[in-house]
Chains A and B, each alone.
Chain A
């Protein structure tokens, strides 16, 4: 494991792993914590070829613990009405395997986990969108959650105020895919494709993506709807529906958000000062190269910021949507 200086205030680096190979890459690149999901719709990256079997989860947990790294299991979809067994089995198996925490949003599932696996730490998923001290306390009082992953709606000063009023840890998103809508309360994907983050663990799923060659233009579609259109020579992007070009009031624009990725390197010292405990990198669906490079870049940036210096901006543009980044809601001007 990489030696690093432990300073008084730093951020726990929480990294994504969609496969066992990515998991080991994250640990080797300097993750403090790695999160992953099981190979079914109990987690919000329910993509073909991704995620962990029970055996792989057990192996990953052993690998993490041997390296002083924690493993978090994402159980961040909502139990299917009338058919909760997959979620219950996931809680029971995760407890037996010995994961360090479970990340959950569903009130019914939190209740089940608090009752049936009380000793396993519970983190409140971003999908619960707890955005105030009261909202957080409700989950603390009811389900004894020990950490809240904050929705991408708060500014850094608002996060600092929140941390003064709650007595559990906060985790914030630091890099990768950027939900511009409040998480866990968005049905845009199911309106277009019938598949939603909350119920199916997917958003703008690849199964519904089509590209149409219209001569001088390449059109990207999600289901029946055109999400974007690219001129010859323009780089075509994935049709994430909230990052498309639409027309409103006679004007064509990226109405909701440009194709862009979240990147907080420029505000890392502010997040540390705001009392944030952990920084989460998005991207369980990304490959091993993404994991290795992004985790290593953030390891360096966090250690630099924790030592009181200003971290240099790493070049991660190849891993960004549209090659661009934003600090998103962390800065008030974004609203």
Chain B
């Protein structure tokens, strides 16, 4: 049966950037108190050098989020390379929470523990989706570059909730090399944590001064902010159950509330898109991936799919 937008849930993805501890904690406390999100993914997934700063304080924010009725999921790192990082993945499974696995290192370590499939595990087709259902995945979050036609083929007949990326700078690449450090003439080992200077990533422009990408340590993201808010009806019609909103240094309570309002039919999507575009320091919005086009482009809504959804 076709899903309706009001039945869709909201997931807050992990904070991808190196925020000061205070800011990070206050952010989650406010999310707990005010944001209409159902699942909250926590944990440092980008750089293991940052992880010791945040992990000791995870219990505080998890307690607050759970007290507010949120379901908390611990995320595993995107790229795991050495013994220390492997040990950190293994310890994720000790805490008793569902773990969002973001590489096969975590999958191999999970034993019989509860897990979900994160967006950095490549589920590009219904066969891979079915494989993870058989393994017992509780949810599957799809890679960001998939077009709606693929999303629909994967979500059709899915037995577990299928989630897609819906807001935020889109993670595009991960590397062993730290580009934040490289930009400052440093190496990853001696990085001086220069990534902390850029709470939404370091702006990267072309030689013509055209905004292009954002660097977050070893991660590269889009400069534009991916935004699916005008395509929520089409996503529901495609069988998507959950939307992932990725934290940025801006009013995320407003962002999450806008998405909820559109899903609930209280605000129309064009008005919501306009509000998002007018947020303080807003990046340009894009949704090309969803439309099977260049990712940076901002296409009109999926008119045909939306129309079909209305008649479904």
Contacts and interface: CB of A to CB of B under 8 A. Distances in A.
Interface of A: 78-84, 105-109, 111-112, 128-135, 137-139, 141, 152-154, 158, 161, 180-182, 184-188, 190-194, 196, 198-199, 219, 223-229, 242, 244-249, 251-253, 255-257, 329, 332-335
A153 B79 contact: yes
A192 B222 CA distance: 10
Nearest to A242: B173
Contacts of B289: 187, 190-191
B208 A194 contact: no
Contacts of A111: 127-128, 131
Contacts of A153: 79, 81, 175-176
Given A185-B120, A194-B288, A332-B189, A79 B206 contact: no
B105 interface: yes
B103 interface: yes
B85 to A, nearest CB: 8
Nearest to A195: B294
B220 A181 contact: yes
A182 B107 CA distance: 18
B173 A187 contact: yes
Interface in B83-111: 83, 85-86, 89, 103-105, 107-109
A181 B127 contact: no
Contact of B206 (A82, A112, A194, A227): A227
B296 interface: yes
Interface of B: 78-83, 85-86, 89, 103-105, 107-109, 120, 122-128, 130-132, 143-146, 149-154, 170, 172-179, 182-184, 187-189, 202-210, 212-213, 215, 220, 222, 288-289, 292-296
A164 to B, nearest CB: 12
A107 B128 contact: yes
B295 A190 contact: yes
Contacts, number: 225
A107 B131 contact: yes
Contacts of B132: 107
A332 B81 CA distance: 12
A182 B104 CA distance: 14
Contact of A108 (B81, B127, B204, B212): B127
Contacts of B144: 187
Nearest to B197: A249
A112 B172 contact: no
Nearest to A132: B105
Given A247-B206, A247-B207, A78 B124 contact: yes
A199 B153 CA distance: 15
18 contacts: A81-B153, A84-B127, A107-B123, A107-B132, A108-B124, A111-B127, A129-B103, A134-B86, A138-B104, A153-B175, A185-B173, A187-B144, A190-B295, A246-B206, A247-B209, A248-B204, A249-B183, A252-B207
